Structure formats: C-alpha cells, structure tokens
DNA sequence: GCATATTGGACTAAAATGGTCCTATATTGA
DNA sequence: TCAATATAGGACCATTTTAGTCCAATATGC
C-alpha cells in the first residue's frame, strides 16, 4: 500500500512535539524528548523550517516553533513539506507530459484518486494528530480490511524503544 | 506526496488492457499493445496472477485474463497486489508493535488517514479506470492545489512515447 | 516432437532513503 | 570583544528499494 517515508513519520512526531511546547525549542531538546537521533532531528527541522511550517531563531536561546496554529497545519502540508509535491503517479500532472494516450487511460483515474487522497489529508490537522483520542473528522466505518490489520511481522517499530536511530 | 511505484503504474495499464480484451492475452501481446518492455510485462503478469487478480493458462494459445469483472476490482486491490499490504506508516498496525507511546501520538492519526485513503481506493474500480471520462464516484471540488499541479519538470513521462523501457 | 506460453527465481544497475558530519553564520550574555 | 549556544547549508556514505533483464523448467496444443 501507499506509505510515507520514515523521515516523514519522524517529522510528524517532531511537529507534534512542537505543538505541545509553546516555547522555542532547540533541536537538542526535541531530540532528547522524542528519542530521535539529534542529527536526524536537525535535518528534519531544517527541512520543516524551509517549508515554512516552522520558523527558526538563531543563536543562543534560539530554536524552532510553529508558524501557525496546529489546527491550521494539515497532514497534506506535512507531506508536502517532507516528501515534496510528488503526485501519486509521475505523469499525473495536467496530462501535458504524458503523450501515450492509448495506454494512459488509467492515468485519469489515478489523478482522481490522488485528489481524493489529498482531500483526506487536508481534513486532518496537526491539532488532531496531537490529540487523536478526541473526535476525529475522518470517521469511516470499518472497512473489513484496512491494510494495517494484515501486517504482523515487523521486526522493529518505526519509533522504537531504543534511544535514537540504530 | 504519496506516490505509487512505476511498476504499479505499469500494472494498472496492463490491467486496463486486459479489461479491454475479453480474450486470453499472452504476455507478448500485452507488451506489444502497451509499449511496455516484454520482460517487465511478464514480471508484472506473474505478480498479478499470484495475487489472484488475473489467472493464467499455460502452453500454446495460453495467456492471462481477469478473474473478476472489472467493476469488482478496486484500486485498493491493485495496490495490494503490486505493492503489498504495507500501511502508510510501518507501525500503523494495531499499535501492538509501537511502545513509544509518548512520541507516537501521531501514529493514531496516520492510521485514520490510512483508513480514509483506503476507502478512497476502494471506491474506484478497474471499470472506472478503463473509462475515466464517464461519471466518476470521486467527484470532489477542486482543492486549489492538488499536488499534481506543481510538478512541471519531469524529464520523462511515466508511460512514455519511446517503445518499452529504456 | 515442437512451438508456444507461463513459472520461478537469480541477477544487476540505478535511484531513493536514512543517517551522519563539517563548516559557516547569527545571537546572547558576560 | 569573547565565548557559548544555536541554526544554515551542504557534502557525504551505507543501505535498501526499485526497475529491469534473463534463464532454466514446466505445461499445453497441434
């Protein structure tokens, strides 16, 4: 199934952490509190800062903080910031780049799916990620099989018990 | 943004092709008609066959055909067959594998998103991919920015004009 | 038997991913 | 002004994944 990269997953954890801390957070604090290795945290904070989701203050007593309220940051924003604006298929742009029309009849469908997925991502804000127990905008009936159910053999959790990255 | 692999993209094209052809199709025909290199087509057909979406007939006059009506094959089926049952995050199972609870508050949200995405994928059938001009189950208003709009610098289309894979 | 096909797997090259580290620069406070 | 604290911006490398090819074995129809 579709998946996000581990770094995006880490990035989300970092953003949730910044949501909890109203104050300016240096990278070292974020690393200590999340258990993610410092270099990785630094890299992600830089990326997030460049994307505009967070802002930085240099120098002593500096650090990072969110630029917007958590409810104004969507999952789509996070994905865009950390994975770039890649679409679900490479040629799902405005079909200008794909000329093999006879074979590309599937392309239109992927674009529709892409849009639907994007809508789902726009509906979830960082505020809701911060507190997932609260009522959620995405309440769908159980689907019989969610993909997530099937996996059972992961050797290591994404955000594991071990401190930092192995 | 989220993306599917190029092979999954090819696989969809192949399935759409099989939808058009009611008859038994050998891999060589599929390759010739789709413009995808034969070895790649063979590999994908094998995978699709193992997943049960298509069935094979060996020997002379053999080939592949769909096992179900196109409307009974969803985009989620295709993704599952070609990309495996990976969830959006590695630890989005039944939170049994992720013990870092204090940092993993984001995990629940990704699970919800995963479910929403899966629902979107289940709503699109191969029949609709085959004929995307017809009314589509996923009609959402334009989102202002769909991710797909932003990309403009792809050097090569996914299913390109050149015959086969370079 | 022979031509036609699928089956299963090995194999390689290229690209993406995950992770680390180094130097430069900005800010604060003594 | 100096020292300590931070971010900025890359370069860099190891590993994994992806994409693509190829081969020997097997099954079927004529």
What is the tens place of the pLDDT at every residue in B27-47?
Answer: 999 999 999 999 999 999 999
Tokens standing for A142?
């159980």
Asked, for residue A59, whether it belongs to a domain, the answer is yes
Domain hosting A70: range is 6-130
Q: Is residue B92 part of a domain?
A: yes
CATH of residue A14: 1.10.10.10
Report the distance separating Cα A147 and Cα B116, nearest Å.
12
Q: Is the pLDDT confidence value at B21 over 60?
A: yes
Residue A118 falls inside a structural domain: yes
Structure tokens at B69: 């009506």
User: Alpha carbon of B60 to those of A59, B44, B46, B63: distances in Å?
Assistant: 74, 20, 17, 8
Alpha-carbon distance A60 to nearest alpha carbon in chain B (angstroms): 26
Residues in B closer than 8 angstroms to A161, CB to CB, are 99-100
Alpha-carbon torsion, ordered A55, A57, A62, A67, to 10 deg: -20
| H or E element in which residue B31 lies | helix B27-34
Between CA B95 and CA A81, with CA A29 as vertex, the angle to 5 degrees is 65
| Residue A7: per-residue pLDDT | 92
- Beta-carbon separation of A90 and B131 below 8 A: no
Query: Are residues A13 and B79, on separate chains, in Cβ contact within 8 Å?
Result: no
Single out the residue of A157, A122, A70 nearest to residue B145, CA to CA: A122
B166 falls within a domain? no
φ, ψ (nearest 5 deg) of residue B68: -130, 170
Residue B90: predicted pLDDT = 57
**pLDDT at A106 exceeding the cut of 90:** no
* Measured distance CA(A37)–CA(B63) in Å, rounded: 52
Question: What is the per-residue pLDDT for A129?
Answer: 80
A11-CA/D13-C1' distance, Å: 22
Q: Do B154 and A93 touch (CB under 8 A)?
A: yes
Give the pLDDT confidence score for residue A1 in this predicted structure: 65
Categorize the per-residue pLDDT at A5 as very low, low, confident or very high, splitting at 50, 70 and 90. confident
In total, how many domains does chain B have? Answer: 1
Question: CA A112, B113, B121, B165: dihedral to nearest 10 degrees?
Answer: 70
Contacts with B51 (C-beta within 8 Å, 6 or more apart), sequence order: B80, B81, B82
Alpha-helical (H) ranges within A35-103 are 38-51, 75-83
Query: Does nucleic acid strand C have an atom less than 7 angstroms from the CB of A145?
Result: no
Shortest Cα distance from B108 to chain A (angstroms)?
Answer: 6
Confidence of residue A93 (pLDDT cuts 50, 70, 90): very low
- What does the pLDDT look like over B122-157, one tens digit per residue? 888 998 887 644 433 332 222 222 333 323 332 333
- Identify the pLDDT of residue A22: 81
Residue B155 belongs to some domain of the structure: no
| Residue linked to tokens 């919800």 | B112
Q: What is the mean pLDDT of residues B59-65?
A: 96
Lowest mean pLDDT among A19-23, A61-65, A69-73, A152-156: A152-156
Dist. CA B164–CA B166, nearest whole Å: 6
Is A143 a domain residue? no
Q: Say what the ipTM of the complex is.
A: 0.74
> Does residue B163 lie within any of the structural domains?
no
The answer as to whether A138 is a domain residue is: no
Q: What is the CA A160 to C1' C29 distance in angstroms?
A: 39
């Amino acid at each position: 199934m579709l998946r996000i990269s581990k770094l995006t997953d880490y990035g989300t954890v970092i953003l949730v952490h910044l949501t909890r801390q109203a104050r300016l957070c240096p990278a070292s604090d974020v690393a200590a509190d999340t258990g993610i290795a410092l270099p990785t945290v630094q890299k992600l904070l830089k990326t997030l800062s460049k994307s505009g989701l967070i802002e930085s203050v240099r120098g002593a007593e500096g650090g990072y903080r969110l630029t917007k309220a958590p409810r104004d940051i969507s999952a789509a924003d996070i994905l865009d910031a950390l994975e770039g604006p890649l679409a679900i298929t490479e040629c799902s742009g405005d079909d200008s780049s794909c000329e093999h029309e006879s074979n590309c009849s599937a392309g239109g469908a992927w674009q529709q799916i892409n849009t639907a997925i994007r809508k789902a991502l726009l509906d979830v804000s960082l505020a809701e990620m911060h507190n997932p127990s609260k009522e959620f905008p995405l309440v769908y009936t159980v689907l019989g099989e969610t993909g997530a159910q099937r996996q059972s053999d992961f050797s290591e959790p994404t955000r594991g018990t071990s401190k930092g990255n192995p």
